Structure 1
Amino acid sequence: MARAANPGIIIDGLTGIADPDGKEGDFALSPRAVRDYRESGLSAIQVTIGEVGNARTGWDAVQEGVSIHNRIIDASPGTFVTGRTAADIRAAKVAGKIAIVMGTQDTSMVGLDLDRLGIMQGLGVRVVQLTYNLRNLSGDGSLEPANAGLSKLGRATIARIEKEKLLLDLSHGGQRTIAEAIAATTRPMTISHTGCRSLHDNPRNVWDAELKAVANKGGVVGIYWMPFLVANSKPFAADLVRHMRHAVDVCGEDHVGIGTDGVLPKTVIDAERRRKQAAENRDRVARGIAAPGEGPDVFTIIPDLDTHRRFGLLVAALEKDRWPAGRIEKVLGGNLLRLYGDVWGGVSG
């Protein structure tokens, strides 16, 4: 039990940095946030830079996002380090710090200018998601009814992503886009944050055939902690474990990870939080990027895991589901660490 309670390296393959006591314009973490991150057990997190959904300011937002996250790292050197290689993550674990891996959730900011992928690599970006929920020049997102698949530019974009030793992320893709992108790859890829569509038929989830195809090419599927796990948009830990178990059954224990798509601090649902959630949902609906299951009163939390100690609670839930310690270690971080090393190699930017 003691070994499983501290399962080596823990990586959240899609999250954001949040500080419950932070103030507008602050880059340094508050004492409470420092404590929460240190107690979380995390060794690495992947964060999103830039905007999503074919945003007009996409390229400027990428550069601004890199700058912001570099300032966050510089302001809290005792907590965060930059994650450009798998070795950076291992070193962060030894030092008791968290490596921040930067990634995008779209390629609309790249478009026809594939040289921007090289620029992003040089800036420290390590993960590039091909599409968001809408169609861009590379392919169809998960909400496009035509399900038109991958474009010629999409194939060229994937080839350039691989040339730059960036990790291709197929989250938010349409079914054909995902399937055709996997077929077009020569290197392992990820679907960093998704659920199993055979358990709940939501367009943000992925069918077994594509999950298996990712595994067959050495990739990793990250299971998210999102409303899309269940029909009523209110998942609990048992629902998360059910999706994780199914993913392992389909992909094998070497090809499943975690991408919560949430933030670490506990979500306090008060009047102000409800107001912000409703406003954000209105914006997403207006932009056409809100998926089925989202709503003005739907919060992206799993209530019985809603604490900064959530990964310890997940370990306990997986142990209750009779997962062996070695499998828990792989899924909580070992598999993503292996994938990062396979794709990035020794690239440092």
Structure 2
Amino acid sequence: MSLIARSWQGTLALLLCLAALASLPLLAPEAPSPFGAGSLAVIFILVAGGALLSFTGLQAPILAAALFFSAHFATWLLIGGLSGNEGHATLAFFLLVAASWLLAWRSVAVLSAIRARSKMADTCLRLLIPAIFGAWILILWEAVTRGADIPFILLPPPSAIGARIAGSLAILWADVRQTIFKAVLIGYVVGCVSGFAVAILADRFAFLRRGLIPIGNMVSALPIIGVAPIMVMWFGFDWQSKAAVVIVMTFFPMLVNTVAGLAMAGAMERDLMRSYASDYWQTLVKLRLPAAMPFVFNALKINSTLALIGAIVAEFFGTPIVGMGFRISTEIGRMNVDMVWAEIAVAALVGSVFYGVVALAERATTFWHPSNRGG
């Protein structure tokens, strides 16, 4: 019982390994090139050895590295054996993939328990753990789609999507330049800056605050598929109409969050500023704006995703023959689903980088906030 408590992932991986051994072969008998005896033995040794290692008292970094190697090398051999054998995977194949995934899970659990002694080591762990999680989403996706021979039109494997990205860099770059560097960035900057400026005015004048906030809540609930075609009719088919959609989507979140943040300064702090004979603008700059920064950056992070979604959806309603939304709507009509997934992958990558830049700026600006003091 103590061994199971020490590593339930290892216990389950060992049981799956034994079940796979009883369910051999890994591929159907009619497979063109089944696994050889040597590679089959290596796979079982890696999975079973990793499962047994998880019960030992090795130092955490060594144990995590050993489990990482066992899980990923075994999975690499398994998926590599599918080349030319798509759709011939048996139950034993999927049991070994699941066992390898459990070893990777155990590796991540060990890494998560490590207390880094330096800031660089802590940063590496913060990056490594989600990277392993993300890699295993792709690994399981690849194994299931190729092993079960899922129709390409329903879900292409990540390897096919990666090949499409590598072969369509010029097209993808043109789409990113049209959608991201024109519509998204311009609309994001204009929407956030104007929302912030109007929030300052609404804070200064009560009638604006009482009139705009309810309207902002109402406009925030408008469906983008209703706003986008109107903006296309008003501003034309080029990037200007998409930037207008982004402005509408980002203006009110910034307005509402900034007004709420400006109200967060405590009464004692305001009384102290008044005792120093500070006027409205001095109190705003030195007290209330710093207190509102977490709310402002919260709006910036929300808007970083809203802007990308808004620009891509707006391109469905009319655009020049370039752009991420245009490419998705066009290629799905041609059944080129690998190109659609390539655009989705690029959009996800760009959105993650965009969000990460805003998060880093927040960390550098609001280092004094309790949520950032630990880092």
TM-score by length of 2: 0.20
Comparing both structures, which one devotes a greater share of its residues to helix? 2
Higher relative contact order (Cα pairs below 8 Å, separated by 6+ residues): 1
TM-score by length of 1: 0.21
